[in-house]
Structure 1
Protein backbone atom coordinates (compact mmCIF):
# COMPACT_ATOMS: atom_id res chain seq x y z
CA UNK A 1 0.00 0.00 0.00
CA UNK A 2 2.50 2.52 -1.18
CA UNK A 3 0.41 5.67 -1.60
CA UNK A 4 -2.36 5.30 1.01
CA UNK A 5 -0.76 6.83 4.08
CA UNK A 6 -1.07 4.87 7.29
CA UNK A 7 0.69 4.62 10.61
CA UNK A 8 2.42 1.33 11.33
CA UNK A 9 2.18 -0.66 14.53
CA UNK A 10 3.84 -3.62 16.20
CA UNK A 11 2.82 -5.81 19.11
CA UNK A 12 5.03 -7.48 21.71
CA UNK A 13 3.30 -10.30 23.57
CA UNK A 14 5.17 -11.00 26.80
CA UNK A 15 5.06 -14.17 28.86
CA UNK A 16 6.58 -17.60 29.36
CA UNK A 17 3.04 -19.00 29.50
CA UNK A 18 2.50 -18.11 25.83
CA UNK A 19 5.72 -19.72 24.67
CA UNK A 20 5.35 -22.92 26.68
CA UNK A 21 1.80 -23.51 25.49
CA UNK A 22 0.02 -22.98 28.81
CA UNK A 23 -1.92 -19.96 27.54
CA UNK A 24 -3.15 -19.19 24.03
CA UNK A 25 -2.54 -15.64 22.84
CA UNK A 26 -5.78 -13.98 21.76
CA UNK A 27 -4.69 -10.39 22.35
CA UNK A 28 -2.72 -10.03 19.12
CA UNK A 29 -5.72 -11.28 17.13
CA UNK A 30 -8.02 -8.78 18.84
CA UNK A 31 -5.49 -5.98 18.30
CA UNK A 32 -5.13 -6.85 14.61
CA UNK A 33 -8.88 -6.62 14.07
CA UNK A 34 -9.11 -3.35 16.01
CA UNK A 35 -6.27 -1.68 14.11
CA UNK A 36 -7.58 -2.93 10.75
CA UNK A 37 -10.92 -1.21 11.33
CA UNK A 38 -9.18 1.91 12.59
CA UNK A 39 -6.79 2.11 9.63
CA UNK A 40 -3.45 1.50 11.36
CA UNK A 41 -1.30 -1.16 9.71
CA UNK A 42 -0.09 -3.87 12.08
CA UNK A 43 3.25 -4.90 10.60
CA UNK A 44 4.72 -7.24 13.20
CA UNK A 45 3.78 -9.39 16.21
CA UNK A 46 6.55 -10.82 18.39
CA UNK A 47 6.25 -13.10 21.42
CA UNK A 48 9.00 -12.98 24.04
CA UNK A 49 9.62 -14.69 27.36
CA UNK A 50 9.87 -13.12 30.82
CA UNK A 51 13.47 -12.01 30.41
CA UNK A 52 14.49 -8.45 31.29
CA UNK A 53 17.05 -7.96 28.53
CA UNK A 54 15.00 -9.66 25.81
CA UNK A 55 11.95 -7.53 26.59
CA UNK A 56 14.01 -4.34 26.73
CA UNK A 57 15.86 -5.02 23.47
CA UNK A 58 12.72 -6.13 21.61
CA UNK A 59 10.66 -3.12 22.69
CA UNK A 60 13.46 -0.71 21.83
CA UNK A 61 13.84 -2.17 18.35
CA UNK A 62 10.11 -2.23 17.64
CA UNK A 63 9.78 1.35 18.86
CA UNK A 64 12.49 2.47 16.45
CA UNK A 65 10.90 0.67 13.50
CA UNK A 66 7.19 1.49 13.96
CA UNK A 67 4.97 4.43 14.77
CA UNK A 68 3.20 2.62 17.62
CA UNK A 69 4.09 -0.37 19.78
CA UNK A 70 1.61 -2.23 21.98
CA UNK A 71 2.76 -4.59 24.72
CA UNK A 72 0.65 -7.28 26.36
CA UNK A 73 1.45 -8.95 29.66
CA UNK A 74 3.90 -8.81 32.53
CA UNK A 75 2.40 -6.01 34.64
CA UNK A 76 0.98 -8.01 37.56
CA UNK A 77 2.07 -8.41 41.19
CA UNK A 78 4.42 -11.41 41.04
CA UNK A 79 8.16 -11.75 40.55
CA UNK A 80 7.86 -12.63 36.85
CA UNK A 81 5.85 -9.50 36.03
CA UNK A 82 8.74 -7.37 34.81
CA UNK A 83 7.43 -5.44 31.79
CA UNK A 84 7.48 -2.03 33.49
CA UNK A 85 11.00 -2.63 34.81
CA UNK A 86 12.29 -3.97 31.48
CA UNK A 87 10.93 -1.04 29.49
CA UNK A 88 12.29 1.39 32.09
CA UNK A 89 15.68 -0.28 31.66
CA UNK A 90 15.49 0.08 27.88
CA UNK A 91 15.24 3.87 28.20
CA UNK A 92 17.27 4.40 31.39
CA UNK A 93 14.20 5.46 33.35
CA UNK A 94 13.49 5.00 37.03
CA UNK A 95 10.48 3.16 38.43
CA UNK A 96 8.30 5.49 40.45
CA UNK A 97 5.15 4.91 42.48
CA UNK A 98 2.14 6.73 41.02
CA UNK A 99 0.13 7.94 44.01
CA UNK A 100 -3.18 8.12 42.14
CA UNK A 101 -2.95 4.54 40.89
CA UNK A 102 -1.72 3.31 44.27
CA UNK A 103 -4.74 4.86 46.00
CA UNK A 104 -7.03 3.22 43.45
CA UNK A 105 -5.38 -0.15 44.09
CA UNK A 106 -5.77 0.25 47.84
CA UNK A 107 -9.44 1.18 47.42
CA UNK A 108 -9.96 -1.93 45.27
CA UNK A 109 -8.31 -4.12 47.92
CA UNK A 110 -10.42 -2.57 50.66
CA UNK A 111 -13.59 -3.17 48.65
CA UNK A 112 -12.66 -6.80 48.11
CA UNK A 113 -11.52 -7.17 51.74
CA UNK A 114 -8.10 -8.39 50.67
CA UNK A 115 -5.67 -8.28 53.59
CA UNK A 116 -2.61 -9.94 52.04
CA UNK A 117 -1.30 -7.00 50.03
CA UNK A 118 2.32 -7.86 49.37
CA UNK A 119 3.26 -7.08 45.76
CA UNK A 120 0.23 -4.97 44.92
CA UNK A 121 2.36 -1.83 44.89
CA UNK A 122 3.87 -3.22 41.68
CA UNK A 123 0.60 -2.33 39.92
CA UNK A 124 1.44 1.35 40.49
CA UNK A 125 5.21 1.31 39.86
CA UNK A 126 5.65 2.85 36.42
CA UNK A 127 8.62 4.00 34.32
CA UNK A 128 9.19 7.70 34.96
CA UNK A 129 8.79 9.98 33.17
CA UNK A 130 5.88 8.52 31.18
CA UNK A 131 2.42 9.54 30.06
CA UNK A 132 -0.36 7.92 32.05
CA UNK A 133 -3.53 7.71 30.02
CA UNK A 134 -6.94 6.86 31.50
CA UNK A 135 -9.52 7.20 28.73
CA UNK A 136 -12.10 6.32 31.38
CA UNK A 137 -11.67 7.50 34.96
CA UNK A 138 -13.05 4.22 36.30
CA UNK A 139 -9.96 2.31 35.07
CA UNK A 140 -7.79 0.96 37.87
CA UNK A 141 -4.61 0.79 35.83
CA UNK A 142 -3.75 3.43 33.21
CA UNK A 143 -2.22 2.85 29.82
CA UNK A 144 1.42 3.75 30.41
CA UNK A 145 3.04 5.39 27.38
CA UNK A 146 6.85 5.40 27.21
CA UNK A 147 9.05 7.00 24.56
CA UNK A 148 5.90 8.60 23.10
CA UNK A 149 4.92 5.48 21.16
CA UNK A 150 5.07 2.44 23.48
CA UNK A 151 1.68 1.55 24.98
CA UNK A 152 2.06 -0.83 27.93
CA UNK A 153 -1.02 -2.99 28.44
CA UNK A 154 -2.06 -5.93 30.64
CA UNK A 155 -2.13 -9.48 29.34
CA UNK A 156 -5.52 -10.50 30.76
CA UNK A 157 -7.67 -10.55 27.58
CA UNK A 158 -10.71 -8.84 29.09
CA UNK A 159 -8.60 -5.95 30.42
CA UNK A 160 -6.44 -5.79 27.31
CA UNK A 161 -9.49 -5.50 25.06
CA UNK A 162 -11.15 -2.91 27.29
CA UNK A 163 -8.08 -0.67 27.30
CA UNK A 164 -7.40 -1.07 23.58
CA UNK A 165 -10.97 -0.12 22.70
CA UNK A 166 -10.75 2.90 24.98
CA UNK A 167 -7.77 4.18 22.97
CA UNK A 168 -9.75 4.64 19.74
CA UNK A 169 -10.25 8.40 20.03
CA UNK A 170 -6.67 8.92 21.23
CA UNK A 171 -5.25 6.96 18.30
CA UNK A 172 -7.45 8.80 15.81
CA UNK A 173 -6.11 12.10 17.11
CA UNK A 174 -2.56 10.76 16.95
CA UNK A 175 -3.03 9.72 13.33
CA UNK A 176 -4.45 13.12 12.42
CA UNK A 177 -1.49 14.83 14.07
CA UNK A 178 1.09 12.68 12.27
CA UNK A 179 -0.63 12.38 8.87
CA UNK A 180 -2.41 15.72 8.71
CA UNK A 181 -5.72 14.12 7.87
CA UNK A 182 -8.37 11.86 9.34
CA UNK A 183 -7.46 8.20 9.41
CA UNK A 184 -9.44 5.85 7.17
CA UNK A 185 -10.06 2.23 8.08
CA UNK A 186 -9.14 -0.64 5.79
CA UNK A 187 -11.72 -2.40 3.63
CA UNK A 188 -11.65 -6.08 2.76
CA UNK A 189 -13.61 -8.17 0.27
CA UNK A 190 -13.25 -11.94 0.17
CA UNK A 191 -13.81 -14.04 -2.95
CA UNK A 192 -14.31 -17.81 -2.96
CA UNK A 193 -13.48 -20.12 -5.83
CA UNK A 194 -13.41 -23.83 -6.56
CA UNK A 195 -10.30 -23.45 -8.67
CA UNK A 196 -6.98 -24.54 -7.20
CA UNK A 197 -4.42 -22.04 -6.00
CA UNK A 198 -2.10 -23.08 -8.82
CA UNK A 199 -4.79 -22.36 -11.41
CA UNK A 200 -5.30 -18.78 -10.21
CA UNK A 201 -1.77 -17.81 -9.16
CA UNK A 202 -0.74 -16.07 -12.40
CA UNK A 203 -4.08 -14.25 -12.65
CA UNK A 204 -3.69 -12.82 -9.16
CA UNK A 205 -0.07 -11.85 -9.83
CA UNK A 206 -1.10 -9.88 -12.90
CA UNK A 207 -3.91 -8.06 -11.10
CA UNK A 208 -1.69 -7.32 -8.08
CA UNK A 209 0.98 -5.77 -10.32
CA UNK A 210 -1.61 -3.28 -11.61
CA UNK A 211 -2.88 -2.37 -8.15
CA UNK A 212 0.02 -1.44 -5.89
CA UNK A 213 -2.25 0.32 -3.37
CA UNK A 214 -4.10 -2.93 -2.66
CA UNK A 215 -3.04 -6.21 -1.10
CA UNK A 216 -4.31 -9.40 -2.68
CA UNK A 217 -3.92 -12.57 -0.65
CA UNK A 218 -4.64 -16.19 -1.54
CA UNK A 219 -5.67 -18.63 1.19
CA UNK A 220 -6.39 -22.30 0.37
CA UNK A 221 -8.95 -24.15 2.47
CA UNK A 222 -8.44 -27.73 3.61
CA UNK A 223 -11.35 -30.13 3.79
CA UNK A 224 -13.95 -27.80 2.32
CA UNK A 225 -15.96 -29.38 -0.51
CA UNK A 226 -17.43 -26.11 -1.79
CA UNK A 227 -14.44 -23.76 -1.64
CA UNK A 228 -10.85 -24.45 -2.62
CA UNK A 229 -9.38 -20.97 -2.13
CA UNK A 230 -10.42 -17.66 -0.59
CA UNK A 231 -8.89 -14.56 -2.14
CA UNK A 232 -8.83 -11.38 -0.05
CA UNK A 233 -8.56 -7.86 -1.42
CA UNK A 234 -7.54 -5.24 1.14
CA UNK A 235 -7.09 -1.49 0.86
CA UNK A 236 -8.18 1.89 2.16
CA UNK A 237 -10.07 2.88 -0.98
CA UNK A 238 -13.35 1.00 -0.65
CA UNK A 239 -14.37 1.58 -4.29
CA UNK A 240 -11.01 0.32 -5.56
CA UNK A 241 -11.27 -2.77 -3.37
CA UNK A 242 -14.73 -3.56 -4.71
CA UNK A 243 -13.73 -2.93 -8.32
CA UNK A 244 -10.71 -5.22 -8.15
CA UNK A 245 -12.71 -7.85 -6.26
CA UNK A 246 -15.29 -7.96 -9.05
CA UNK A 247 -12.53 -8.31 -11.63
CA UNK A 248 -11.11 -11.26 -9.69
CA UNK A 249 -14.58 -12.83 -9.42
CA UNK A 250 -14.83 -12.89 -13.20
CA UNK A 251 -11.28 -14.06 -13.81
CA UNK A 252 -11.35 -17.00 -11.39
CA UNK A 253 -15.01 -17.93 -11.74
CA UNK A 254 -15.58 -17.03 -8.11
CA UNK A 255 -18.14 -15.37 -5.87
CA UNK A 256 -17.93 -12.83 -3.05
CA UNK A 257 -18.46 -13.95 0.52
CA UNK A 258 -20.52 -12.03 3.02
CA UNK A 259 -19.16 -11.48 6.53
CA UNK A 260 -21.04 -14.37 8.11
CA UNK A 261 -19.89 -16.86 5.50
CA UNK A 262 -16.36 -15.58 5.82
CA UNK A 263 -16.33 -15.99 9.58
CA UNK A 264 -17.53 -19.57 9.21
CA UNK A 265 -14.84 -20.33 6.67
CA UNK A 266 -12.19 -18.81 8.92
CA UNK A 267 -13.02 -21.52 11.45
CA UNK A 268 -12.15 -24.27 8.96
CA UNK A 269 -8.70 -25.75 8.57
CA UNK A 270 -7.06 -22.99 6.56
CA UNK A 271 -3.49 -23.22 5.30
CA UNK A 272 -1.49 -20.25 4.10
CA UNK A 273 1.52 -21.79 2.43
Structure 2
Protein backbone atom coordinates (compact mmCIF):
# COMPACT_ATOMS: atom_id res chain seq x y z
CA UNK A 1 0.00 0.00 0.00
CA UNK A 2 1.48 3.34 -1.05
CA UNK A 3 2.17 5.90 1.64
CA UNK A 4 -0.21 8.85 1.70
CA UNK A 5 1.52 12.13 0.77
CA UNK A 6 2.24 14.36 3.72
CA UNK A 7 3.97 17.59 4.58
CA UNK A 8 7.27 17.27 6.42
CA UNK A 9 8.39 19.49 9.28
CA UNK A 10 11.43 20.20 11.42
CA UNK A 11 11.92 22.06 14.69
CA UNK A 12 14.85 24.24 15.70
CA UNK A 13 14.90 24.81 19.46
CA UNK A 14 17.07 27.82 20.29
CA UNK A 15 18.67 28.56 23.63
CA UNK A 16 21.73 28.03 25.80
CA UNK A 17 19.40 27.29 28.71
CA UNK A 18 18.29 24.09 26.98
CA UNK A 19 21.81 22.93 26.20
CA UNK A 20 23.23 23.64 29.66
CA UNK A 21 20.38 21.92 31.48
CA UNK A 22 18.87 25.00 33.10
CA UNK A 23 15.55 24.56 31.29
CA UNK A 24 13.81 21.44 30.03
CA UNK A 25 12.51 21.70 26.48
CA UNK A 26 8.78 20.96 26.40
CA UNK A 27 8.01 22.84 23.20
CA UNK A 28 9.29 20.15 20.82
CA UNK A 29 7.22 17.53 22.67
CA UNK A 30 4.10 19.69 22.39
CA UNK A 31 4.80 20.40 18.72
CA UNK A 32 5.28 16.71 17.96
CA UNK A 33 1.90 15.86 19.45
CA UNK A 34 0.21 18.74 17.62
CA UNK A 35 1.67 17.79 14.23
CA UNK A 36 0.89 14.08 14.77
CA UNK A 37 -2.79 14.88 15.26
CA UNK A 38 -2.76 17.25 12.30
CA UNK A 39 -1.05 14.75 9.98
CA UNK A 40 2.21 16.60 9.35
CA UNK A 41 5.29 14.40 9.68
CA UNK A 42 7.88 15.82 12.08
CA UNK A 43 11.19 14.51 10.72
CA UNK A 44 13.81 16.29 12.81
CA UNK A 45 14.33 18.24 16.05
CA UNK A 46 17.57 20.15 16.57
CA UNK A 47 18.72 22.28 19.51
CA UNK A 48 21.18 25.12 18.93
CA UNK A 49 22.86 27.66 21.18
CA UNK A 50 22.27 31.41 21.28
CA UNK A 51 24.78 31.98 18.50
CA UNK A 52 24.07 33.88 15.29
CA UNK A 53 25.93 31.57 12.94
CA UNK A 54 24.62 28.36 14.53
CA UNK A 55 21.03 29.54 14.27
CA UNK A 56 21.44 30.83 10.72
CA UNK A 57 23.16 27.71 9.36
CA UNK A 58 20.73 25.33 11.05
CA UNK A 59 17.55 27.13 10.03
CA UNK A 60 18.69 27.57 6.43
CA UNK A 61 19.51 23.86 6.12
CA UNK A 62 16.25 22.74 7.71
CA UNK A 63 14.31 25.10 5.45
CA UNK A 64 15.91 23.51 2.38
CA UNK A 65 15.13 19.98 3.56
CA UNK A 66 11.55 20.28 4.87
CA UNK A 67 8.21 21.77 3.94
CA UNK A 68 7.88 23.60 7.25
CA UNK A 69 10.34 24.69 9.95
CA UNK A 70 9.29 25.85 13.40
CA UNK A 71 11.74 27.74 15.58
CA UNK A 72 11.31 28.16 19.32
CA UNK A 73 13.11 30.71 21.47
CA UNK A 74 15.47 33.62 21.03
CA UNK A 75 12.72 36.26 20.94
CA UNK A 76 12.94 38.98 23.58
CA UNK A 77 14.48 42.27 24.63
CA UNK A 78 17.99 41.23 25.74
CA UNK A 79 21.31 40.79 23.94
CA UNK A 80 20.99 36.99 23.73
CA UNK A 81 17.64 37.09 21.91
CA UNK A 82 19.03 36.57 18.43
CA UNK A 83 16.42 34.66 16.43
CA UNK A 84 15.11 37.48 14.25
CA UNK A 85 18.60 38.75 13.44
CA UNK A 86 20.08 35.29 12.86
CA UNK A 87 17.24 34.13 10.61
CA UNK A 88 17.46 37.41 8.73
CA UNK A 89 21.15 36.65 8.21
CA UNK A 90 20.33 33.11 7.08
CA UNK A 91 18.31 34.36 4.11
CA UNK A 92 20.15 37.65 3.52
CA UNK A 93 17.19 39.79 4.56
CA UNK A 94 16.94 43.21 6.16
CA UNK A 95 15.72 43.88 9.68
CA UNK A 96 12.83 46.30 9.76
CA UNK A 97 10.57 47.78 12.44
CA UNK A 98 6.93 46.75 12.08
CA UNK A 99 4.91 49.78 13.14
CA UNK A 100 1.77 47.84 14.00
CA UNK A 101 3.63 45.52 16.37
CA UNK A 102 5.58 48.43 17.83
CA UNK A 103 2.35 50.25 18.67
CA UNK A 104 0.95 47.10 20.25
CA UNK A 105 4.08 46.74 22.39
CA UNK A 106 3.88 50.39 23.48
CA UNK A 107 0.20 49.97 24.35
CA UNK A 108 1.04 46.92 26.45
CA UNK A 109 3.78 48.83 28.28
CA UNK A 110 1.40 51.72 28.94
CA UNK A 111 -1.22 49.37 30.32
CA UNK A 112 1.32 47.76 32.64
CA UNK A 113 2.78 51.17 33.56
CA UNK A 114 6.28 50.09 32.54
CA UNK A 115 8.57 53.10 32.19
CA UNK A 116 11.92 51.39 31.58
CA UNK A 117 11.42 50.57 27.90
CA UNK A 118 14.92 50.05 26.58
CA UNK A 119 15.08 47.00 24.35
CA UNK A 120 11.35 46.53 23.88
CA UNK A 121 11.58 47.74 20.30
CA UNK A 122 13.40 44.45 19.57
CA UNK A 123 10.01 42.72 19.85
CA UNK A 124 8.89 44.58 16.72
CA UNK A 125 12.02 44.37 14.52
CA UNK A 126 11.54 41.50 12.09
CA UNK A 127 13.26 40.05 9.02
CA UNK A 128 12.02 41.80 5.90
CA UNK A 129 10.38 40.83 3.65
CA UNK A 130 8.36 38.33 5.69
CA UNK A 131 4.76 37.32 6.24
CA UNK A 132 3.40 38.45 9.59
CA UNK A 133 0.61 36.15 10.66
CA UNK A 134 -1.74 36.99 13.53
CA UNK A 135 -4.34 34.22 13.65
CA UNK A 136 -5.94 36.18 16.49
CA UNK A 137 -5.87 39.96 16.49
CA UNK A 138 -5.30 40.01 20.25
CA UNK A 139 -1.80 38.54 19.82
CA UNK A 140 0.94 40.99 20.73
CA UNK A 141 3.65 39.35 18.61
CA UNK A 142 2.84 37.79 15.23
CA UNK A 143 4.16 34.54 13.86
CA UNK A 144 6.88 35.74 11.49
CA UNK A 145 7.16 33.52 8.39
CA UNK A 146 10.44 33.77 6.48
CA UNK A 147 11.42 32.09 3.20
CA UNK A 148 7.77 30.94 2.94
CA UNK A 149 8.33 28.03 5.32
CA UNK A 150 10.18 29.15 8.47
CA UNK A 151 7.78 29.96 11.33
CA UNK A 152 9.50 31.96 14.08
CA UNK A 153 7.92 31.38 17.49
CA UNK A 154 8.72 32.41 21.08
CA UNK A 155 10.21 29.95 23.53
CA UNK A 156 7.91 30.63 26.52
CA UNK A 157 5.85 27.41 26.56
CA UNK A 158 2.48 29.08 27.18
CA UNK A 159 2.96 31.49 24.26
CA UNK A 160 4.50 28.82 22.02
CA UNK A 161 1.54 26.50 22.57
CA UNK A 162 -1.01 29.27 22.02
CA UNK A 163 0.57 30.30 18.74
CA UNK A 164 1.05 26.74 17.50
CA UNK A 165 -2.61 25.91 18.15
CA UNK A 166 -3.70 29.09 16.38
CA UNK A 167 -1.82 27.97 13.24
CA UNK A 168 -4.02 24.92 12.67
CA UNK A 169 -6.33 26.49 10.01
CA UNK A 170 -3.33 28.05 8.26
CA UNK A 171 -1.47 24.73 8.11
CA UNK A 172 -4.56 22.92 6.85
CA UNK A 173 -4.85 25.45 4.04
CA UNK A 174 -1.15 25.05 3.32
CA UNK A 175 -1.60 21.31 2.90
CA UNK A 176 -4.50 21.89 0.54
CA UNK A 177 -2.34 24.22 -1.53
CA UNK A 178 0.74 21.98 -1.63
CA UNK A 179 -0.91 18.54 -1.82
CA UNK A 180 -4.25 19.38 -3.41
CA UNK A 181 -6.10 17.88 -0.44
CA UNK A 182 -6.63 18.26 3.27
CA UNK A 183 -4.27 16.02 5.18
CA UNK A 184 -5.58 13.55 7.71
CA UNK A 185 -4.08 13.03 11.15
CA UNK A 186 -2.02 10.02 12.12
CA UNK A 187 -3.49 7.12 14.08
CA UNK A 188 -1.61 5.04 16.64
CA UNK A 189 -2.36 1.75 18.32
CA UNK A 190 -0.13 0.20 20.98
CA UNK A 191 0.18 -3.51 21.74
CA UNK A 192 1.79 -4.92 24.88
CA UNK A 193 3.35 -8.35 25.27
CA UNK A 194 5.23 -10.37 27.85
CA UNK A 195 7.51 -11.74 25.15
CA UNK A 196 11.02 -10.34 24.74
CA UNK A 197 12.15 -8.23 21.79
CA UNK A 198 14.28 -11.12 20.63
CA UNK A 199 11.25 -13.39 20.51
CA UNK A 200 9.17 -10.98 18.43
CA UNK A 201 11.78 -9.23 16.25
CA UNK A 202 11.44 -11.47 13.19
CA UNK A 203 7.64 -11.33 13.37
CA UNK A 204 7.65 -7.53 13.36
CA UNK A 205 10.21 -7.41 10.54
CA UNK A 206 8.05 -9.67 8.36
CA UNK A 207 4.90 -7.66 8.97
CA UNK A 208 6.61 -4.29 8.47
CA UNK A 209 7.97 -5.43 5.09
CA UNK A 210 4.40 -5.71 3.80
CA UNK A 211 3.35 -2.18 4.70
CA UNK A 212 5.23 0.89 3.48
CA UNK A 213 2.39 3.16 4.61
CA UNK A 214 2.70 2.13 8.27
CA UNK A 215 5.46 2.37 10.85
CA UNK A 216 5.88 -0.35 13.43
CA UNK A 217 8.05 0.45 16.44
CA UNK A 218 9.18 -1.75 19.32
CA UNK A 219 9.80 -0.20 22.75
CA UNK A 220 11.00 -2.23 25.78
CA UNK A 221 9.22 -1.33 29.01
CA UNK A 222 11.72 -1.57 31.82
CA UNK A 223 10.75 -2.35 35.40
CA UNK A 224 7.32 -3.77 34.60
CA UNK A 225 6.86 -7.43 35.56
CA UNK A 226 3.72 -7.78 33.43
CA UNK A 227 4.92 -6.18 30.18
CA UNK A 228 8.20 -6.70 28.37
CA UNK A 229 7.64 -4.70 25.17
CA UNK A 230 5.12 -2.21 23.77
CA UNK A 231 4.69 -2.19 19.99
CA UNK A 232 3.31 0.91 18.26
CA UNK A 233 1.59 0.88 14.87
CA UNK A 234 1.33 4.32 13.27
CA UNK A 235 -0.25 5.43 10.01
CA UNK A 236 -2.87 7.67 8.43
CA UNK A 237 -5.26 4.86 7.48
CA UNK A 238 -7.00 4.06 10.77
CA UNK A 239 -8.49 0.81 9.46
CA UNK A 240 -5.06 -0.40 8.33
CA UNK A 241 -3.51 0.56 11.68
CA UNK A 242 -6.21 -1.37 13.55
CA UNK A 243 -5.93 -4.39 11.27
CA UNK A 244 -2.15 -4.63 11.54
CA UNK A 245 -2.26 -4.07 15.29
CA UNK A 246 -4.69 -6.97 15.56
CA UNK A 247 -2.42 -9.16 13.44
CA UNK A 248 0.58 -8.32 15.64
CA UNK A 249 -1.40 -8.97 18.82
CA UNK A 250 -2.38 -12.42 17.58
CA UNK A 251 1.18 -13.27 16.53
CA UNK A 252 2.83 -12.23 19.80
CA UNK A 253 0.05 -13.01 22.28
CA UNK A 254 -0.39 -9.30 22.89
CA UNK A 255 -3.12 -6.96 24.05
CA UNK A 256 -4.15 -3.35 23.61
CA UNK A 257 -1.96 -1.10 25.72
CA UNK A 258 -2.73 2.29 27.17
CA UNK A 259 -0.66 4.21 29.69
CA UNK A 260 -1.02 2.55 33.06
CA UNK A 261 -2.43 -0.69 31.69
CA UNK A 262 -1.01 -4.08 32.70
CA UNK A 263 -1.70 -7.77 32.37
CA UNK A 264 -4.64 -7.53 34.74
CA UNK A 265 -6.69 -5.47 32.30
CA UNK A 266 -5.83 -7.11 28.98
CA UNK A 267 -8.04 -6.17 26.08
CA UNK A 268 -7.23 -8.46 23.18
CA UNK A 269 -8.02 -6.99 19.78
Shorter-chain TM-score above 0.5: yes
Cα deviation for residue 3 of structure 1 reads: 2.2
**In the alignment, which residue of structure 2 is the partner of 1:96?**
96
Whether 1:54 aligns to 2:54 is yes
Q: 2:254 corresponds to which residue?
A: 254
Partner of 2:9: 9
Structure 1: segments with no counterpart, 5+ residues:
266-273
Return the TM-score normalized by structure 1: 0.94
Report the counterpart of residue 268 of structure 1 in structure 2. none
Q: What residue is the counterpart of 1:214 in the other structure?
A: 214
- 2:162 equivalent in structure 1: 162
Q: How does 1:76-95 map to 2 (within 5 A)?
A: 76-95=76-95
Map Cα deviations across residues 96-144 of structure 1 (whole Å, 9 max, x no partner).
0100001110111111111111100000000000000000000000000
Q: Distance in 1 between matches of 2:90 and 2:249?
A: 50
2:20 is aligned with 1:20: yes
Q: Which residue of 1 aligns with 2:267?
A: none
| Aligned pairs, number | 261
Deviations 1:44-89 (A, max 9, x none): 0000001101100000000000000000000111000000000000
Distance 1:102 1:182 in 2: 36
Partner of 1:237: 237
**Equivalent residue for 1:225?**
225
Rounded to whole Å, the distance in 1 between the matches of 2:3 and 2:220 is: 29
Which residue of 2 is the match for residue 67 of structure 1?
A: 67
Distance 1:228 1:129 in 2: 54
Partner of 1:100: helix, strand, or coil?
A: helix
CA distance in 2, matches of 1:100, 1:2: 47
Distance 1:116 1:198 in 2: 64
SS of structure 1 residue aligned to 2:152: strand
Q: Which consecutive segments of 4 or more residues in structure 1 shift more than 2 A?
A: none
Equivalent-residue separation in structure 2 for 1:104 and 1:2 (angstroms): 49
Alignment match, 1:140: 140
- The alignment's TM-score, normalised by the length of structure 2, stands at 0.96
Q: Distance in 1 between matches of 2:251 and 2:135?
A: 48
Shift of 1:2: 5.5
CA RMSD of aligned residues (A): 1.0
